[in-house]
Structure 1
Amino acid sequence: MDITLGTRRRTRAALWQAVSEYVEQRHWPVTQGTYLIRHGRRARCCCGRPTCAAPGMHPADPQWSTRATDTPSAARRLWSQLPDSTVVLPTGRAFDAISVPRPAGRCALVRLERMGTPLGPVVATPDGRFLFLVAPGAAGELPYLLYQMGWDDAEVDLRCHGPGDYIFAPPSPLGVLGAAEWVRRPDAADALPEARLLLGTIAYSCHRNSPRAGGGLWLAS
């Protein structure tokens, strides 16, 4: 068997299994992301734009936010038509996602587990971030919560994906960077934690692991 063909088949099977899990077990809305089309050593984004700014790393449909679905039959139809599509999960609906650099995320995860803090799923992205999935509403509350905790003017590389934003779900390959992976997999028995329960530890870990000196709070929603 051709190695490339075999790899593509395994990737397709893993993506479809993930889509089924997210929609049928978690009831998370999904939408399709772009992927790379390879020609020998060259690769281009399936969107067809020669100057694509993020090849293989953006939603395939410009109307992705309104067309995301949590209906199994609709998801099956989409991925049967384009089986190489990556899996995009809109945020601000079933969950929000707190994003931090991987060293800070790893440190925060260890601390939170040692404290016995209830945790939700955690994703590691190939561009060096950890995503803590939390109950929806975190993006809107984040500046106030950080102010309450005294982190509003600290050096904290911390972002929150909320309404109108998205994350790529494992095992989606992100362009040439690699694939998103679960650090803590979703568990149907686990409720998503409120951001306020995790935020103090996450912010402290970001501050402690920051390579920069000075500066201000970095927030994005």
Structure 2
Amino acid sequence: MDREALLAAAIRYAEDRHWQVAPGHHLVRRDARVLCSCGRLDCTRPGAHPLSSDWAVEATTSGVRVRQLWGAHPDASIILPAGRMFDVIDVPELAGCLALARLERQGKQLGPVLSTPGRRLQFFVLPGMQKQLPDLVRRLGWKPERLDLRYLGKGEYVVAPPSNAGLALGATHWVRPPVEANRWPPDARELIAPIAYACAR
């Protein structure tokens, strides 16, 4: 992984987007194996979890602090806390692609959309709908527990590009990158119908 690219991306998220960032564990190669830098052979989120148990408090938008953190941990993944500037709707890749195509045809405003090595798509939305989402899905005619749809809000996080994360050695990447035009993500209520429909299919 290009350490300069990691640092530059972390600074850009913090300073340009005002997204809080925290360093995370990363993938390492040991004897032809790919493991998490946390050292646990049974790690359930290899290369995709925070370095510190206090990550939510330590996350920062200060470029100076980001330089200090990545100076100490130059290979660290980039952790973005949800529930602050954004929440995330997380769905399987196929359902996410179907929903994305439909939303684009409808001309809906979209925020950043992230693809993970675990073949998931993550739609960034305005924060604050975590408790209401199950009822929204029910009103659309589906049982939330039957859909492979997760809502990431306060206390949760995503791993941002160009971090390497997941059992397969591969980088997270933006399907729709954060740009000036999508600085403010949409309300989850504006996206949930096509996303839930795609998950149900």
- With the shorter chain as reference, the TM-score category is over 0.9
Amino acid at match of 1:163: K
Match of 2:63 among 49, 64, 72: 72
How far, CA to CA, are the matches of 1:122 and 1:144 in structure 2? Answer: 24
Find the partner of 1:109 among 97, 100, 104: 100
Once the two structures are superposed, the pairs formed by residues 1-221 of structure 1 within 5 Å of their partners are 8=1, 11-49=2-40, 51-152=42-143, 155-177=146-168, 178-190=170-182, 191-208=184-201
**Aligned partners of 2:27 and 2:36 also within 8 Å:** yes
Q: Tell me by how many angstroms 1:44 deviates.
A: 3.7
Q: Specify whether residues 99 and 51 from structure 1 end up closer, same or farther in structure 2 by C-alpha distance, changes over 3 A only.
A: closer
Higher relative contact order (CA 8 A, sep 6+): 2
Q: Distance in 2 between matches of 1:61 and 1:153?
A: 32
Letter in 2 for 1:171: P
Q: Which runs of 5+ in 1 are unaligned?
A: 1-7, 209-221
Larger radius of gyration: 1
Aligned to 1:211: none
Shift of 1:80: 1.1
Separation (CA, whole Å) in 2 of partners of 1:115 and 1:69? 36
Alpha-carbon distance between aligned partners in 1 of 2:133 and 2:68, rounded to the nearest angstrom: 37
Q: Which deviates more, 183-192 or 195-204?
A: 183-192
Q: How far apart are the structure 2 equivalents of 1:42 and 1:143?
A: 40
Residues in 2 aligned to 1:92 and 1:153: alpha-carbon distance in whole angstroms: 20
Paired AA for residue 99 in structure 2? A
Contact 1:154 1:207 in 2 (8 A): no
Distance 1:83 1:59 in 2: 14
**CA drift at 1:43:** 4.0
Count of paired positions: 199
Q: What amino acid does structure 1 have at the position aligned with 2:113?
A: V
Cα distance in 1 between the residues matched to 2:160 and 2:70: 15
Residue pair 2:27, 2:164 contacting (<8 A) in 1 also: no
* 96-105 vs 148-157, greater mean Cα deviation: 148-157
Distance 2:43 2:198 in 1: 35
CA distance in 2, matches of 1:198, 1:14: 32
Q: Does structure 2 conserve the Cα–Cα contact (< 8 Å) formed by 1:25 and 1:188? A: no
Do the aligned partners of residues 154 and 86 (structure 1) sit closer, same or farther apart at CA in structure 2, a change above 3 Å counting? closer
Deviates most, 124-133 or 53-62: 53-62
- Are the equivalent residues in 1 in contact too, given 2:25–2:48 (CA < 8 A)? yes
Of the structure 1 ranges 190-199 and 40-49, higher mean CA displacement relative to structure 2 is found in 40-49
Tell whether the 8 Å contact from 1:36 to 1:46 is kept in structure 2 after alignment. yes
TM, length-normalised to structure 1: 0.84
**Which amino acid counterpart does residue 193 of structure 1 have in structure 2?**
P
User: SS at 1:151's partner residue?
Assistant: coil
Distance verdict in 2 for CA 1:55–1:18, change over 3 Å: same
The answer to whether the Cα contact below 8 Å between 2:98 and 2:198 also exists between their aligned partners in 1 is: yes
